[in-house]
Structure 1
């Protein structure tokens, strides 16, 4: 139970054969993972701008938005089982998620209030920096108990979302996390807290991967996993801000 992010459960983090590593140039490093993460964020931002621009130019972004979401999910599944392909698939995932996020952000911008997307981006980045500093200076330590609590909470959230979605699809059930009730807002805040705590697990697994001298391609794999958490966090901030803006 190392991380609730499925990427960081891969056996490559804990069962790497040293025979696969030829020299220091072929091993995973923290700096290398940071560089790969910045590349993926850059690609995501470019794709984000495409659907954002299309929406405000009067084009319907739904094809790119939905296509990006589905394609991104497929790439996550493939890379989860074949991390050695992450060098090729991680950039594609970043582009797909950028198309998806750009589309839904533009929709929220039009249906909630101007500036909500920038507020969500700012909140996500501030949360990331705060969590990173807390981890770096060991103010919050990633213990086995910490991991167990975060993983259990993340699984519970995933199950809750899935069951609520299925019930709303086939019955007249209205999920409690919809709308802007105090309960719905409280659920969103709780989910944001859990998503933020997942960042600590991600940082810890990246550090472990570097210490274990995992193969170089695991930098792309790790960067992709970190982007997954940031995307989740950003979407939840969008949802919360939208709820708070309603009368």
Structure 2
């Protein structure tokens, strides 16, 4: 059975432990598949739902604390930093993701809850609009992928990954410049800034197709069971990014009224 993949993530040796190779009497390799310990699409979906529940629950608690008058900024900063640390540990130690990913969801939820509360306090009704926009985008992308209207080819993957890395680099550059008191156009509410936000949202949405492909290909290749958690985390990261970008876009549009 050929297990090579064009997906760089799936070529990591740590992700190729779902099968065992033994040899028959003639010395020919025979692959034995442990079906009880391999990744499935349903397993990844169930873990994604669990992560969403944990994230929303954590976010709701911080949201409630904010509107009760508590200072949630330390929770936000702590959640953002620790979730980033957990993310990198999961990248290099994917076998630990069954323990790391639920913690990541809770920590990320603390950050999202605080961030959402700040936006809601300034622009009432904005959060529900961002949630609705994120859900609709996810549903549209899922249907396009499910009915093979959009196919994840190597060229598609390369373009999306390249654009995503470019956006991350630009955001990092903008953050560094802001330290020195220089504000780039992405922080304003000009038409150029709004156009940039729309572009970022499109790229974030395209990343959903890569997440769907990761889950489907991982199940097809019968990767280790813990890859269900890893795939769920990848999908959750994209959804959170998409939601934040919708928040920012809607805030820019509201500030122009």
Q: Give the superposition deviation at 1:12.
A: 5.1
Q: What secondary structure does 1:60 align onto? A: coil
C-alpha RMSD of matched pairs (Å): 1.7
Look up the match of 1:221.
230
Look up the match of 2:137.
127
Matched, 1:136 2:155: no
Look up the match of 2:118.
107
Look up the match of 2:19.
18
* Cα displacement string for residues 58-101 of structure 1 (whole angstroms, at most 9, x for unaligned residues): 11111111111111100000000000000000000000111100
- Is 1:191–1:236's contact at 8 Å kept on the other side of the alignment? yes
- Is 1:180–1:243's contact at 8 Å kept on the other side of the alignment? yes
Q: Give the superposition deviation at 1:17.
A: 5.5
* Cα displacement string for residues 139-197 of structure 1 (whole angstroms, at most 9, x for unaligned residues): 0111111111111111110110011111111x231111001000110010000000000
- Is 1:2–1:201's contact at 8 Å kept on the other side of the alignment? no
* Cα displacement string for residues 101-143 of structure 1 (whole angstroms, at most 9, x for unaligned residues): 00000000012x2111111111111111100000010001111
Aligned residues: 241
TM-score, normalising length from structure 2? 0.90
- Larger RCO, structures 1/2 (Cα 8 Å, 6+ apart): 1
- Is 1:195–1:232's contact at 8 Å kept on the other side of the alignment? yes
- Is 1:150–1:198's contact at 8 Å kept on the other side of the alignment? yes
TM-score, normalising length from structure 1? 0.93
Look up the match of 2:97.
86
CA distance in 2, matches of 1:126, 1:13: 35
Name the stretch that deviates more: 146-155 or 74-83.
Answer: 146-155
Look up the match of 2:24.
none
Matched, 1:234 2:254: no
- Is 1:66–1:100's contact at 8 Å kept on the other side of the alignment? yes
CA distance in 1, matches of 2:109, 2:140: 24
Look up the match of 1:2.
7
Look up the match of 1:160.
170
Q: Give the superposition deviation at 1:205.
A: 1.2
Shift of the 13–180 alpha-carbon distance from structure 1 to 2, 3 Å rule, reads: farther
Look up the match of 2:128.
118
Look up the match of 1:40.
51
Q: What secondary structure does 1:142 align onto? A: coil
Matched, 1:27 2:18: no
Look up the match of 2:215.
206
Which of 144, 152, 156 aligns to 1:146? It is 156
Matched, 1:77 2:106: no
5+ residue gaps, structure 1, are none
